[in-house]
Amino acid sequence: MAQPHPIHGRPAGVSKRTSETMSTVIALTGNPDSGKTTTFNRLVGRSQRAENWPGVNVERKEGGLKDKKDVIIVDLPGVHSFSPYSQEEIICRDFLLNDRPDAVINIVNASNLERSLYLTLQILETGIPVVIALNMMDVVRREGIKIDVGKISKALGCPIVETVALKGDGIKELTETIVSAAGEKAGSIPGYSEDLEGYISAVEEAIRGKVPEETERWYALKLLERDERLRKDIDEDVSERVDAIVSSMEEKIDNDADGIIAGERYSFIERVVDSAVDKSGTDKRGTRSDRIDRIVTSRRWGLPIFALVMFAIYFVAIETVGGWGTEILDDYIRNTVRPAAESWLIGAGVDGWLVGLIVKGIISGVGTVVAFLPQMIVLFFILFLLEECGYMSRVAVVMDHLFRRFGLSGKSFISILVGMGCGVPGIMSSRSIEGETERKITAMTVTFIPCSAKLLVIALIAGALFGQSALIAISVYLIGILCILMSGIIMKKWKSLAGTPSPFIIELPSYHMPYLPSVLRLMSERLWSFIKNAGTFVLLACVLVWFLSSFDWHLNTVDAGDSMLAGIGNAMRWVFVPLGFGDEWEFSMATITGLLSKENIVGSLGVLFSSGGPGGEGIWEILGSMLTPAGGYAFLLFNMICAPCIAAVGAMKGELGSWKETAKAVTYQCILAYALTLIFYQFAMIILGYGVGWGIIPAVIALAGLIYVLASKDPFSPFRRAERDA
């Protein structure tokens, strides 16, 4: 009877999937920005479903192939290789090796064959039948590049289908090819130099019978690369034999094992590309994307162009189209839905407390949040358009030039871009950063950038006090980047977080027209997440705020000013008085509820001001009468920088490794938020002609302390000495 081998824990040569399902399973792989997601959408249509891969917060998508629902397409995360440096890479290699799909579709960017084929070689080495979808062929033809697909197919030993996923070209042929390839024997695997092949054979002999036969070559190559994830799971005697083979190889070829194999792969790819690709017809000035990139990624124009793009985004989302939609929806909820619901409930004889809960608690609170939905729709639509056309990856290159001066890199900015949608995936994306110190700093600072939930607060304050000006959103965004850069300087001075930024390499996709269905799908997914949050966390918070603001400590019905919530708010508001928004307890309580979810800030204010002003004013007019512009901006600034929502704190703990380190990070965020808001408000009051108040003293102290920490070479030495003495 076959014995379980030490790596899989199942008998050698037996596929885990064989006994689990009779469906044909096709894995979809490729580099990021290769058109993999668009191809997946073309292949499965609306039958796709999403969940997380077991044990990790990485999305898994799968769906039935159009017209062949018994064929399941599994969309694997986009990766550049199977080196186990990230969760995505581990997921991909484990799925191919452990689940053994019937075939693999490898999406290859035709305009960047040299980079894309590295992953292709690693997939072929698994022994699974592979069909290559040579995508973006329209870009190649437009640039005057000719590719001999037959030569590449022969060299790699697998079929190749030319596709243009954005237009649906080649998808039918790809479907037919992959169905016929599924379950068939894999083609021949490309070979390397005679010396390397000898070492591969030696390792294959050492592990024979301990791994499935069809994956012997893959395991041999990974063990030659000194893959630690595999080495720790093999028998000691096998490990010793492999070590001897690797040492012999390194000594003879005079290079480290990883470099030897990577060099062999790239040499093979170079020979294939040189023989099959003709670039004689290309423009000597470079491709259209190259010519555009000389401007949009240049050191001189890159940042101004990015700032202009962000202004345009927020101008459309907040000040014009999105703002108009929000005004219409808010007016409809406030003047139509709420009065109609209240009239119907009273006419139905519903008790007064329940009418108050539904009308003032739920409709006013959740309705205030939902009213900003048009702005969210416009924002997400534009952001995903820019992402789909290829611009957002260029922004990371532009910001890498700036971030390196402050001890970070463009990889940190990629996490920031993800965090613009939601802070949780933004924090979790930091795990792809190789450098530990940069990874931790990124995880602790990503939430300084406004996420979609914070956009509601920005839109609320901008509408109430600044005429819905897009400049308010841009200023908060720039302050968020400034906080990240300052934090990079400050945290690098703490010895445990010292280090140099990791190298930043990113594949820039060619500019292309966005695929509208993909943009709409991404937008709808983000909006659905927003709506679910409004129907859960925000709803519960609004109900709680209504209850605490409607009853006193003896559970008697009272006005909000005499309620339990007012008592709590008045006890805490003095903390925020120097910041300009502590005179009214409502803003203190809204800030506290925002620690659960930033949407709760808007929802809580919607409940507390649900009765409207004396003239029937809405929430924008009420806020405008209660806050000065300086106080309103200070309220916005503090809530943008201070501790994120509870879900983001949990994600931060997962990246930092302990609650102790997470508590330090949250404390730092709150201290920085308080200090910057204090400095801003106190000096703003002087500049605006309101005079000098007592708060200027702590503001000057805070400013001096911040300058000292930024300028001093070792500002934390007293703390380290105290820590050592303790």
Give per-residue pLDDT as tens, 389-404: 888 888 888 888 888 8
Q: Calculate the CA dihedral of residues 32, 35, 39, 41 and round it to 10 degrees.
A: 80
Matching CATH number, 24-181, of 3.10.180.10, 3.40.50.2300, 3.40.50.300, 1.10.10.60: 3.40.50.300
Nearest by Cα to 104 from 69, 80, 74, 79: 74
Helix or strand or coil: residue 13? coil
Cβ neighbors of 122 (< 8 A, separation 6 or more) are 81, 82, 218
Residue 7 predicted with pLDDT over 60: no
Residues 449 and 480: beta-carbon distance below 8 Å: yes
Give the chain's length: 726
State mean pLDDT over 464-487.
90
Q: Residues 561-565: what's their mean pLDDT?
A: 90
The CATH class, in words, for 194-278 is mainly alpha
pLDDT higher than 50, residue 2: no
The b-or-e profile of 73-89 (16+ CB within 10 A means b, else e) is: bbbbbbbbbbbbebbbb
CATH 3.40.50.300 region(s) of the chain? 24-181
Query: What is the pLDDT, as a whole number, of residue 46?
Result: 66
Of 54-63, 221-230, 536-545, 600-609, the poorest mean pLDDT is in 54-63
Spatial distance between the Cα atoms of 457 and 543, rounded to a whole number of angstroms: 20
Q: What is the pLDDT of residues 483-503, one digit of tens each?
A: 999 998 888 777 666 666 666
pLDDT value at residue 11: 37
pLDDT at 284 over 80: no
What does pLDDT average to over the chain?
Answer: 84
Give the burial class of 285: count Cβ atoms within 10 A of its Cβ; 0-12 exposed, 13-18 middle, 19 or more buried. exposed
The yes-or-no verdict on residue 74 having pLDDT over 60 is yes
d(C-alpha 161, C-alpha 172), whole Å = 10
Q: What is the pTM of this model?
A: 0.74
CA 556, 560, 564, 567 dihedral sign is negative
Contact criterion met (CB below 8 Å) for 52 and 60: yes
pLDDT of 435 over the 80 cut: no
Q: Please report which confidence band the pLDDT of residue 5 belongs to, taking 50, 70 and 90 as the band edges.
A: very low
pLDDT score at 706: 92
Q: Please determine, for residue 699, whether its predicted confidence score (pLDDT) is greater than 90.
A: yes
User: Can you point out the beta strands (E) in 18-163?
Assistant: 24-30, 49-52, 59-65, 68-75, 103-109, 130-135, 146-147, 160-162
Per mean pLDDT, which of 50-64, 601-615, 710-724 is the most reliable?
601-615
Could you tell me the pLDDT band of residue 14, with boundaries at 50, 70 and 90?
very low
**What three-state secondary structure class fits 494?**
coil
- What percent of the chain clears pLDDT 70, i.e. is strictly above it? 90
- Residue 106 pLDDT greater than 90, yes or no: yes
Per the CB < 8 A criterion, the answer to whether 718 and 687 are in contact is no
pLDDT in tens, 319-352: 889 889 988 998 898 889 988 998 999 988 888 8
**Top-confidence range, 14-23, 244-253, 360-369, 663-672:** 663-672
Cβ neighbours around 258 below 10 Å, total: 14
Out of 43-52, 249-258, 489-498, 523-532, which region has the weakest mean confidence (pLDDT)? 43-52
Tokens of 694: 């007592």
Q: Cα–Cα distance between 491 and 713 in angstroms, integer?
A: 12
Residue 682 — very low, low, confident or very high, per pLDDT cuts 50/70/90? Answer: very high
Q: CB-hemisphere CA count at 13 Å for 601? A: 25
What would the mean pLDDT of 282-296 be, rounded to a whole number?
Answer: 79
Q: 4-18, 158-172, 424-438: lowest mean pLDDT where? A: 4-18
Residue in this structure with the two tokens 């796709």, named with its chain if needed? 48
Helix (H) or strand (E) holding 277: strand 277-278
Range scoring the smallest mean pLDDT among 77-91, 332-346, 452-466, 579-593:
77-91
As a whole-number percent, the residues of the chain with pLDDT over 90 amount to 27
Comparing 319 with 134, the larger pLDDT belongs to 134
Q: Which residues pair with 135 in a beta bridge?
A: 109
**Residue limits of CATH 1.10.287.1770 in the chain:** 194-278
- The answer, yes or no, to whether residue 709 has pLDDT greater than 50, is yes
How many Cβ atoms sit within 10 Å of the Cβ of residue 304?
A: 11
Dump pLDDT digits (tens) for 592-639: 998 888 888 998 898 888 765 544 457 888 888 899 999 999 999 999
Q: What is the mean pLDDT of residues 535-548?
A: 88
Task: Render pLDDT for 645-671 as a digit per residue (tens, 0 to 9).
Answer: 888 898 888 888 888 889 999 999 999
Q: Tell which residue, 384, 285, 296, 367, has the closest CA to residue 332.
A: 367
Residue 636: half-sphere exposure toward Cβ, Cα within 13 Å = 31
Residue 724 confidence class, pLDDT cut points 50, 70, 90: low
CA-closest candidate to residue 41, choices 72, 63, 68, 67: 63
- What local confidence, expressed as pLDDT, does residue 503 receive? 64
Say if residue 439's pLDDT is above 50: yes
Cβ partners under 8 Å of residue 710, min gap 6 = 486, 489, 490
pLDDT at 148 over 90: yes
The two three-digit tokens of residue 330, written as one number? 């808010």
415 vs 702, which has greater pLDDT? 702
Could you give the 3-state DSSP secondary structure of residue 176? helix
Identify the pLDDT of residue 50: 57
